[in-house]
Structure 1
């Protein structure tokens, strides 16, 4: 068996380097997946043992070296993210409060579609506040002069960064930890300017460029044009953004590989054409090398202009690696390029591994590279001497194959993070990607250049028509029957099986690659067979959704859109959530609701409170005794004893949000026992909270 493995690894020797970022990512993912620090130490010991085991097999063998390096890199990945999490340690607000304070603006994000301005602030002379605070301000209260570097005074209601409301929902507390944000909230009234600030040149340029574009194109077209140029998505109307998501086109709005590639390609082509006009330059200077250098400078400038977010940096690094390959006469567009980019990001920002941006972008690029490097596909798509009709058909076939494979690669990730995925994205992208890359972006660039002399209006009109076509495609695809597949929260283990199998298939070249189909199929069947939860309870106990015959019903009829969308997505439900008052078998008053749920042969009785008003003890005792499950945002006395579970303030403080599957008798929680991740129990500011004026609510 060892000889067979050695022979197989020898045949795959060119692919072994691709597993470097996989090993690093394995260590990073294990740190996030495991809870107590003792398990992190155990993992380190195990992977180090694997490394020594590989060394004991002999470093002269492929198997020994592969095991040795994989174990060592996995240990490095675990140690790296552990060190990174400790390095960014910063105090976090202990509890909600209202406070008036002065702060310096670090970053300004315009969310015009929501009528908000989002400020990242660094409080001054306020030891009771965290080092960084994120506050939303109504546009009417923002006024003039809100820019990076300014010192402002405001009154705001602040709260600790919220954890996931229910299992599988978005966990802002983890993201905030790595970004150093210790509190979040909203301003109560106007924001006053204490000291004007001069913003960084690039930040100011980005804001002015975004405003200029939106002044030339109104509505959703102008907002999308601004997003393509500057990465500013705040002005995109929610209905357009939702249509782009449902149609599988939202990747066009995030500055990433597509945009950087288009810019670099256009820059190189323009420089080559201009320099080739001079015979003297063409005969004496390395034009390709100069054009590659110009493309690299354009990529770096574009990355800085759009805010230098991690996805853009990742794309910029990949583009520069490609340009280096072109400059030295090598084929740089390979899976090794993808592996180098992934390793670079994981070494600098290991926490990005668990975010959807990292996973979606690298899954898409890996799938494309694995496809085009396959010998049969390479032969099928190779350029040849043929008529334009057959050549165009070959290009469209390549786009269709690429789109289908990318959708297959991205769907599990989208469902895991967002609990839904567009099913017709492959077809929509066949038109949308060329439309954006070869028509919209060149038109927009040319219009901006002509605006310098006041002649850009005709091109802006044409660009607006192209963007209207893009939005028409998005809305049309989004409205098609079955356009979106929704699933409840997928178990992490099922998602891990799908990812591991997909990586195995993509990175190997021999027949052994198809062994990866087994974990993919097992994970897919597991995910598809996951039961939708019967009851979802948010971590504060205020909101509850119950699965009824017609869908899901909410405890509080006046729950906001955010709560409704979050609960519906976590349940894998596409539709409007009804009110529990109108559900069959429900009886509701101002203070509480009861409902009977039948699952199989068992009848369950749920009692949920929805006010904090006084309830007669005898009445509450009787209601608790008759219930199987009690849910409340308030503390309930010990004599409130339901037959199965009492999810009151005391329990929810330990567990966080809950999802309950009555058929399986299983409860999932947000918090895990013994969880040592630093954002679970973060340090608090040194000053006591009483310096704040608590809210009357």
Structure 2
């Protein structure tokens, strides 16, 4: 029946449904309006979506869940695509969900594609193979050699051994055929939860064993002629001109060779927030590219004919591209350098096309390229630190308010200088704040004065040290580089003084135990939300950012850390420090346990603690946490302990730790962490107040490097 005059036409839906659908329609309209305002920012989320899929592969434990994630993401994409007529939101949700599924699948394929045999158990072996890489480490009096064995004699195809400098024979160069005996072991997993996982890095590097080589080392067939390696020759030349760590840093800037830097100087660079200067990445590639462009442009401008007839900026861009590629090859073509080179080439391409060069879209394009080529780099600190820093810098200076503050204008030179210094300071502070969560997650410490130190260090390195070093190398062709090397050495000593002064300043370093993965994920999500959007909706990113920060600070630090071999443990003391079971633990063990315990000062000896009683073979320690007493018993030697005494002691203990296999009759009240148990779990972290136990190998984890580590007995 037709509606009568004066009445609204029928919609075909009951009035209750209209009322219920109105809020949903308004919400959909608001989202569409917001996405329309942010339409230029939407492509920036492409690498984020791929990275989410890659991260899911690393976080989820087994193939069933990897498959489930990919299928769930594909289902979301199909559902969103089916409703894509609703607008931009549906279309982009479908795209991003499919990219997340792609990222997970790509990471899975990559892990299987690089799979290579891994040594099954430690032991002494004879290695016969071809030298692939020789890396001098003069600060440690070692030479690191990577050898391709071809899988002969049951060895993995690629092994890496350290040789004492005095044991390195003449002719040990890349391409040489060598024979030597070495103690080899499978690439070790993380010692404790949150520590560096060498087994994962080695898996993607195709490395199947690592160890220490013995003399004599026989060179059966020559490789490259000594000095034929341009990178090695250049590094040796630079270090012959400048002594000590200053010369090693100069070699690092020229060739990427960091082996000569003394450990105390490298630690000072890390603590002061200047360690990025030692990793050939965006800063160095940009400096080389810019210097090459400027030099070519100025030289060509000297010719009136070239200035009138040639497209000098285009020629200069070509020279910059050649310099970037050449520098990348010279410094070893590591992934961070390749990433920076690709970004530089994109910038040069944009300049050649007359486009704005430095934008977040360029950063997103570079991140997408790296994730598609090397998705595993997402899990490492290099990718995270470099892209986080660049994203923060570009997002800051794309802000209209910030551009208004620091735009060029007619003003006295001193005000222009002050404005530039303030811009550099603000940039340093933003970058430092951005990088602190990443540094805490990977290294469990972060420099707090890095923004101030970088205000001096970055210009000093970019505009003084690197140009003078380049000129010194050129003048050395005529034997005239000595004065320039003196200036470069003086500037490098100043850089080291700045690093040590900053690192030793009171409160210069914030230390934190292992950061929860979920908390880190919330911080990253909040930071990306703030950086990539432009409307006021970006402020919503403060919610996950704050939640992640609070989650990081809320949990109590671990009270007990046990390494995967059961030989070492660190126990929280009454004063908040950590005490070691074995007095003669090496620097690596001390550093690893201290960092993951959130302790900056030196670790004490457990035998010296008033709450512990130790003999040559056993330690018994009592801890008061969570309103009760906890007793820890640990073996500290390989000597025989009467089984009756050991079993009786186990019954009085809450936790028993040993690097040997304990008898079944050893039954502590809570946990038995002997060799058999630790072979399944890897290193262990325990918080007594919450009774939380974290392991290096989570239950059911079937990532390939974890499976190989378990098979090898770690």
**If the TM-score is normalised by the length of the shorter chain, which range does it land in?**
over 0.9
Q: Does 1:615 align with 2:644?
A: no
Partner secondary structure for residue 679 of structure 1? helix
Q: Does 1:318 align with 2:343?
A: yes
Deviations 1:602-621 (A, max 9, x none): 01111001122221121111
User: Match of 1:693?
Assistant: none
Are the aligned partners of 2:579 and 2:605 in contact in 1 as well (CA < 8 Å)? yes
1:218-229 alignment runs, 5 A limit:
218-229=243-254
Partner secondary structure for residue 229 of structure 2? helix
**Residue among 12, 26, 30 paired with 2:38:** 12
Q: Does 1:666 align with 2:698?
A: no
* Equivalent-residue separation in structure 1 for 2:81 and 2:641 (angstroms): 69
- Structural RMSD (CA): 1.4
**Residue among 362, 365, 369 paired with 2:394:** 369
User: Match of 2:328?
Assistant: 303
TM-score (norm 2): 0.95
Deviations 1:640-667 (A, max 9, x none): 1111111111111111110110000110
* Equivalent-residue separation in structure 1 for 2:225 and 2:705 (angstroms): 31
User: Match of 1:692?
Assistant: none
User: Match of 1:288?
Assistant: 313
User: Match of 1:567?
Assistant: 593
Partner secondary structure for residue 283 of structure 1? helix
User: Match of 1:149?
Assistant: 175
Partner secondary structure for residue 330 of structure 1? coil
1:406-555 alignment runs, 5 A limit:
406-550=431-575, 551-555=577-581
The higher relative CO (CA closer than 8 Å, separation ≥ 6) is in: 1
* Equivalent-residue separation in structure 2 for 1:336 and 1:124 (angstroms): 43
Structure 1 gaps of 5+ residues are 690-697
User: Match of 2:134?
Assistant: 108
1:69-468 alignment runs, 5 A limit:
69-124=95-150, 126-198=152-224, 204-468=229-493
Moved over 4 A (4+): none
User: Match of 1:591?
Assistant: 617
Are the aligned partners of 1:148 and 1:200 in contact in 2 as well (CA < 8 Å)? no
User: Match of 1:606?
Assistant: 632
Q: Does 1:41 align with 2:67?
A: yes
Are the aligned partners of 1:368 and 1:405 in contact in 2 as well (CA < 8 Å)? yes
TM-score (norm 1): 0.97
Deviations 1:272-317 (A, max 9, x none): 1111111111111110000000000000000000000011001101
* Equivalent-residue separation in structure 2 for 1:60 and 1:305 (angstroms): 53
Bigger shift: residues 118-127 or 663-672: 118-127
Are the aligned partners of 2:171 and 2:226 in contact in 1 as well (CA < 8 Å)? no
Are the aligned partners of 1:93 and 1:684 in contact in 2 as well (CA < 8 Å)? no
User: Match of 1:681?
Assistant: 707
Q: Does 1:66 align with 2:64?
A: no
Partner secondary structure for residue 402 of structure 1? helix
Partner secondary structure for residue 640 of structure 1? coil
User: Match of 1:694?
Assistant: none
Cα drift, residue 125 of structure 1: 6.5
Partner secondary structure for residue 189 of structure 1? strand
* Equivalent-residue separation in structure 1 for 2:226 and 2:538 (angstroms): 50
Q: Does 1:577 align with 2:603?
A: yes
Cα drift, residue 505 of structure 1: 0.4
Taking structure 1 as reference, are residues 361 and 59 closer, same or farther at Cα in structure 2, changes over 3 Å only?
A: farther
Bigger shift: residues 8-17 or 541-550: 541-550
Deviations 1:214-249 (A, max 9, x none): 000001110110001110000011111111111000
User: Match of 2:80?
Assistant: 54
How many residue pairs are counted as aligned between the two chains?
A: 685
Find the structure with the greater CA-based Rg: 2
* Equivalent-residue separation in structure 2 for 1:565 and 1:78 (angstroms): 34
Taking structure 1 as reference, are residues 294 and 68 closer, same or farther at Cα in structure 2, changes over 3 Å only?
A: same
Partner secondary structure for residue 531 of structure 1? coil
